[in-house]
């Protein structure tokens, strides 16, 4: 985790007092990608990498913020209906406004924050930011909201203030994480179950491609719209309710793109169930097989991979890695890899060298430890 002492010192230097410390983690998702906004199931876990904020009410209606990682200072009035223009500031502004809409009596505050959740890596740094501030405001201003409500406030911030129609998985995982456990979440009704994650003899590791392809338009929203079109034609609320028989019957009425994207979503629903069954009996080889199948679908049918990520997955396969796939929204970011202990060192060194040779850039290795969700950190 980021050094809390340095954030506290920065806060004291800027605002002349001590503040309360809150943290919220990023997340990994073992399986279940792009299923959340389709009403399906996901299997995420919180990680140790987090966003940390030092915060204290200031008795006014103004928020004074300093983002350490970006060396960015900004402020806004909590009653301003428009808010700040910089995208990063709008995350904090959006959470403030959504907390107020939920009936929390938010006041102005001073805050310094930073974190070690890699940006653009598919680990949901934005959700960690939203959940950190939602948790802090809920406690400091005695909002009394439960964790799922706070997660939905983070999701609403993405929708209304950032323009990304994300599902609930990222914020849910950041809020509800538990050390040593993954969570199977039903994204339709919010019901979830903890699954112990103690892969003896295996490790999870992320390989960050350190690339993020910015495509024209909003490719994330476009894929969601594809799924919504198919669901409407099938006469169901979301693709979660669409059967393989219904999809096949619609094939001639769908564009090839919409069909392939729906095919991926239905296949991923099957894979989530398969992985949960495999977890119950400790069959990590079966889990890895499903991870590779997910990547194939994300790359070929959903088209959210890229050359760099496909290369890293192929290196993993050649090194005998049990499972590997792209993680997150796509178009760059990380692969998540399930690796046997005895293969770990060779895989890491091979991936780093081969990637540098092929693309001329350095990838980074991020060991995964499943950690706790949003919380206050006491001295």
CATH number of the domain within which 100 lies: 3.30.230.10
- 69 to each of 5, 66, 114, 174, how far by Cα in Å? 15, 9, 6, 20
Q: Cα(238)–Cα(312) distance, rounded to whole angstroms? A: 32
Place of tokens 């990637």: 355
- Our count of domains for the chain comes to 1
Establish if 347 belongs to a structural domain.
no
Establish if 14 belongs to a structural domain.
yes
Establish if 83 belongs to a structural domain.
yes
Establish if 167 belongs to a structural domain.
yes
The alpha helices in the chain, defined as continuous H runs, are 4-15, 87-101, 125-140, 147-157, 169-176, 219-234, 244-250, 256-280, 284-296, 307-318, 344-359
Identify whether 170 is a catalytic site residue. yes
Establish if 153 belongs to a structural domain.
yes
- Measured torsion, CA atoms of residues 133, 139, 145, 148, in degrees rounded to the nearest 10: 50
The pair phi, psi for residue 101, each rounded to 5°, is -65, -30
Q: Render each residue's pLDDT in the chain as its tens digit; 379 residues.
A: 568 999 999 999 999 989 999 999 999 999 999 998 899 999 999 999 999 999 999 999 999 999 999 999 999 999 999 999 999 999 999 999 999 999 999 999 999 999 998 776 778 899 999 999 999 999 999 999 999 999 999 999 999 999 888 888 899 999 999 999 999 999 999 899 999 898 999 999 999 999 986 544 578 789 999 999 999 999 999 999 999 999 999 999 999 999 999 999 999 999 999 999 999 899 999 999 999 999 999 999 999 999 999 999 999 999 999 999 999 878 888 999 999 999 999 999 999 999 999 999 999 999 999 999 999 999 7
Q: One of 116, 170, 301, 372 is an active-site residue; which one? A: 170
313-325 burial code (b ≥16 CB/10 A, e <16): bebbeebebbbbb
Establish if 38 belongs to a structural domain.
yes
- pLDDT computed for residue 216 by the predictor: 44
Establish if 250 belongs to a structural domain.
no
Establish if 235 belongs to a structural domain.
no
What is the DSSP secondary-structure string of 74-118?
A: EEEETT-SS--SSHHHHHHHHHHHHHHHTT-----EEEEEEE-S-
- Could you list the residue range(s) of the whole structural domain that residue 173 is in? 4-196+371-377
Strands of 192-196's sheet, edge to edge?
Answer: 41-42, 181-186, 192-196
């Amino acid at each position: 985790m980021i050094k809390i002492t340095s954030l506290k010192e920065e806060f004291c230097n800027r605002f002349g007092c001590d503040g309360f410390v809150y943290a919220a983690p990023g997340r990994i998702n073992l399986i279940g990608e792009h299923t959340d906004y389709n009403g399906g199931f996901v299997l995420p876990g919180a990680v140790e990498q987090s966003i940390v904020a030092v915060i204290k009410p200031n008795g006014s209606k103004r928020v004074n913020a300093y983002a350490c990682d970006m060396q960015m200072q900004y402020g806004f009035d909590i009653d301003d209906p428009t808010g700040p223009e910089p995208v990063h500031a709008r995350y904090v502004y959006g959470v403030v406004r959504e907390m107020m809409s939920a009936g929390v009596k938010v006041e102005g505050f001073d805050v310094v924050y930073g974190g070690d959740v890699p940006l653009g890596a598919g680990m949901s740094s934005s959700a960690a930011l939203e959940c950190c501030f939602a948790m802090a405001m809920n406690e400091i201003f005695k909002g009394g909201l439960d964790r799922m409500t706070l997660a939905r406030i983070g999701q609403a911030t993405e929708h209304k203030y950032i323009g990304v129609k994300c599902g609930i998985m990222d914020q849910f995982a950041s809020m509800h994480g538990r050390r040593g456990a993954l969570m199977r979440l039903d994204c339709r009704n919010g019901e979830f179950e903890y699954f112990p994650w103690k892969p003896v003899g295996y490790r999870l590791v992320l390989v960050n491609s350190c690339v993020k392809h910015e495509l024209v338009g909003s490719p994330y929203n476009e894929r969601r719209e594809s799924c919504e079109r198919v669901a409407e034609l099938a006469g169901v609320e979301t693709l979660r309710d669409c059967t393989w028989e219904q999809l096949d019957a619609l094939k001639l009425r769908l564009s090839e793109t919409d069909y392939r994207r729906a095919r991926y979503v239905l296949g991923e629903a099957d894979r989530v169930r398969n992985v949960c069954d495999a977890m119950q009996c400790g069959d990590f080889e079966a889990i890895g097989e499903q991870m590779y199948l997910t990547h194939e679908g994300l790359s070929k049918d959903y088209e959210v991979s890229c050359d760099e990520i496909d290369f890293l997955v192929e290196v993993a396969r050649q090194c005998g890695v049990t499972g590997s796939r792209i993680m997150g929204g796509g178009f760059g970011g990380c692969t998540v890899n399930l690796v046997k202990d005895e293969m770990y060192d060779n895989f890491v060194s091979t991936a780093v060298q081969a990637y540098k040779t092929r693309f001329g850039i350095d990838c980074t290795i991020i060991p995964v430890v499943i950690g706790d969700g949003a919380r206050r950190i006491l001295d």
